[in-house]
Structure 1
Amino acid sequence: MSDKQEKATAYWKENLKYLIILLVIWFVVSFGCGILFREELNEIRLGGFKLGFWFAQQGSIYVFVVLIFVYVRLMNKLDKKYGFDE
Structure 2
Amino acid sequence: MQLTDRHREYWRRNLRLTGGLLAIWFAVTFLVVWFARDLADIRFLDFPLPFWVGAQGALIVYVLLIRRYAKRMNELDTEYGVSEGSR
> Is TM-score (shorter-chain normalized) higher than 0.5?
yes
Tell me what 2:6 maps to: 7
Identical pairs, percent: 39
Count of aligned pairs between the two proteins = 84
Other structure's SS at 1:83 match: coil
Question: 1:36 maps to what in 2?
Answer: 34
Give the superposition deviation at 1:44: 2.0
Structure 1: gaps of 5 or more residues: none
One-letter amino acid of the counterpart of residue 31, structure 1: F
Cross-structure match for 2:78: 80
Is the aligned partner of 1:21 residue 2:56? no
CA drift at 1:67: 0.3
Residues 51-60 or 11-20, more deviating:
51-60
The two structures, once aligned, show a CA RMSD in angstroms of 2.0
When normalised by structure 1's length, the TM-score is 0.81
Q: Does 1:54 align with 2:72?
A: no
TM-score, structure 2 as length reference: 0.80
Structure 2 stretches lacking a partner, 5+ long: none
